[in-house]
Structure 1
Amino acid sequence: MSKKLIPFILLLVLIISACGNKTTGTSGEETKKEEDSTITYESENGPIEVPADPQRVVALTNAGYVLKLGVNLVGVDSWSMTNPRYADELKDVEVVSEDNIEKIAELQPDLIIAASTTKNIDKLGKIAPTVTYTYNKVDYLTQHLEIGKLLNKEKEAQAWIDDFKARAKAAGEAIKAKIGEDATVTVLESYDKSMYILGDSWGRGTEILYQAMGLKMPEKVKEMTEKEGYYTLSSEVLPEYVGDYLVISKYNDQDNSYQETDVYKNIPAVKNNHVLEANAYEFIFNDPISLDYQLDFFKENFLK
């Protein structure tokens, strides 16, 4: 071999080696990027790998939390579809259920959010990472923070929580200044021929009234709702549970004939025009979208 060729061959080897190292470096960066595309979320059932930036979420519960954080939904439960507050953002979203696994699979979700009571969790988990929540296991604001952690938007969730608490506190002070520090409020709902009074953490604006704004509930309501969070009663005994003010989470498509009875009409809160009627479909949930609306509703109706 000519001595003149040796330097050339050495140079060629160095070039090939450098290219190889560059390729290896690029591969390492790609691997790191791929690893960064998921995060570990500490769920009720232990750690689970979920997308760091989910693009196709199916929410069988808690849809409002996802919407508030600006994450794309491709499927939601039927109850979420009844809330007028979600209507615009859900107009192109599919209605799905825990019983229709095939339809959920067709949507190709990258994350599924469900309740701890949802059926077919194992099957859902084979479609996409599935995270479940137990209703009222944590308070309503912590629930939003947890969804924020799941969706990798914890800062956004905390910012809303801080702002909401400040707004609700100010509203509560203004309302108590008008109706009195000791005025009591009862929240009532009637659905499918059953009547309920609600505790301090059962949606329907209860979290705002009793927790965020610090308004009082009648002692009998507090006693009877303490265990389950709500209490079923008959219209005949309703006067025993109604405080100075009555908030009705009302379904206009249900039987509301109790409001035509003398028993109802003779309740002091009714006679004093201290009844606030809200659209139940807008009042069911306690997610940030619902809470923002409910807070405005209370401010407008108590302070008008």
Structure 2
Amino acid sequence: MKKRMILPLIVIMLFTIIASACGNDASNNATSNSNQETAADTTSTGAAQEETTDTITYQSETGPVEIPAKPERIVALSNGPNILSMDVTPVGVDEWTAANPLFQDKLKDVAIVTDSDPESIAALNPDLIIAGSTAKNLEQLSKIAPTIVYTWGKLDYLDQQLEIGKVLNKEAEAQAWIDDFTKRAEDIGNEIKAKYGDNVTVSTIEIFEKEVFVMGDHWARGTEALYQAMKLNMPEQVKNDTLQEGYHSLSLEVLSEYMGDFVVVSRDMTRDNEIMKSTIWSNIPSVQNKHVIELETKAVTYSDPTTLEYVLNIFKEAFLGTTK
């Protein structure tokens, strides 16, 4: 009798064990499936997040432009020096940037491009194009790659650099340079005023062959550093006549009327200049006092950080006799 009872019990126990095992398998399978689905969802979400951070919307002066978050192949038809100053090398630059002696070492393997030849730009496979508002073929360029347009002079030299910082994903670096440069330049300006008086005046002219132009406070050639950052004064006649266009053409006969206590001369330093050998020139008081600071034109036609640091050191040495 006991043996008969034991057999059914064994059968019941085996059935219970098997049923339990099946239940655990089903539960494990369900958990595994659930984990796989969660992982898949997470992967999908991660991919979506990664995709959304591949580009940013840049608010340009012509409207929003979708650009790479970290552009790697930039064609700079304008603002090349601003880009180079942030340790980013474009794949193509305009001829004026390429000829600038301050950047030639960085541009040895960089193509020289022009807005007149969009095909050569397309051949560089750019992921971003930066151009001036007067550039040709802007519509065609925008079909090659996202294109940002800047109007020269619409932004001041500091805001322009900050905008380039945003484009390059280096806004904090751009702002740090702005804060540092403006402080150092103002300090140098204060030293100059302490040495020569608060009312000391500086004129900035460019001599091109037989023509002379006097510059306002935002026409490169070091003007942003002198008048905006260092806060030095320009003669009233210069201020009035450069107010609208930013520069003013001069005849040799009236040149002395526009000269300050100091004069900064932008010119081609590889050539002798007839104007600077003339009697009119030699009779200017600032010339007689040896208050003339000469700059190579090719190196100072931009207002980017590299150029501004370059001219600031020249001005510091010329005015104060000390280097950085």
TM category, shorter? over 0.9
Match of 1:271 in 2: 288
C-alpha displacement at 1:57, in angstroms? 0.9
Which amino acid in 1 is paired with 2:165?
Answer: G
Does 1:184 find its partner at 2:184? no
Counterpart in the other structure of 2:115: 98
- Per the alignment, do residues 234 and 254 of structure 1 end up closer, same or farther by CA in structure 2, a change over 3 Å counting? farther
Could you tell me which of 259, 266, 270 is aligned with 2:276? 259
Paired with 1:298 and 1:72, the residues of 2 have a C-alpha distance of 28
For residue 191 of structure 2, the aligned residue among 171, 174, 179 is: 174
1:149 Cα offset (Å):
1.4
Deviation at 1:194, TM superposition (A): 2.9
Aligned-pair CA distance for 1:13: 6.1
The answer as to 2:38 corresponding to 1:33 is: no
Aligned partners of 2:94 and 2:113 also within 8 Å: yes
Given residue 143 of structure 1, which amino acid in structure 2 is its aligned partner?
A: Q
Aligned ranges 1:26-175 → 2 under 5 Å: 26-175=43-192
- Deviation per CA, 1:62-115: give whole Å up to 9, x if none: 111111222231111110012111122111111111011111111111111111
Q: Give the AA of the match of 1:293.
A: Y
Deviations 1:237-271 (A, max 9, x none): 21111111110011135672111111111111111
Q: How many residues align?
A: 303
Contact 1:246/1:275, CA 8 A, preserved across alignment:
yes
Bigger CA radius of gyration? 2
Which ranges in structure 1 are unaligned for 5 or more consecutive residues? none
5+ residue gaps, structure 2: 1-17
Q: Distance in 2 between matches of 1:173 and 1:137?
A: 28
Q: 2:250 aligns with which of 233, 248, 251?
A: 233
The CA deviation string for residues 93-138 of structure 1, in whole angstroms up to 9 with x for no partner, is 1111101111111111111111111111111111111101111112
What is the percent sequence identity of the aligned residues?
Answer: 48
| 8 Å CA contact retained: 1:192, 1:255 | no
Q: Deviations over 1:258-293 (max 9, x none)?
A: 111111111111111111111111111100110011
Offset of residue 24 of structure 1: 3.4
2:222 is the counterpart of 1:205: yes
Separation of aligned partners in 2, 1:181 and 1:10: 86
| CA offsets 1:183-215 (integer angstroms, 9 cap, x no match) | 111101022543210000000000111111111
Q: 1:255 to 1:135 in 2, by over 3 A?
A: farther
Give the CA deviation at 1:179.
Answer: 2.0
Q: Distance in 2 between matches of 1:195 and 1:254?
A: 15
CA RMSD of aligned residues (A): 1.9
- Residue by residue over 1:24-48, the C-alpha shift from the partner in whole angstroms, topping out at 9 and shown as x without a partner, is 3212211210111111111101111
Aligned to 1:299: 316
Q: Say which of 243, 258, 263 aligns to 1:246.
A: 263
Q: TM-score, normalised by structure 1?
A: 0.94
Judge conservation of contact 1:191–1:254 (CA < 8 Å) in 2: no
Tell me how far apart the structure 2 counterparts of residues 170 and 279 of structure 1 sit (CA, whole Å): 25
Q: Map Cα deviations across residues 151-182 of structure 1 (whole Å, 9 max, x no partner).
A: 22111100000000111011101111222211
Moved over 4 A (4+): 3-14
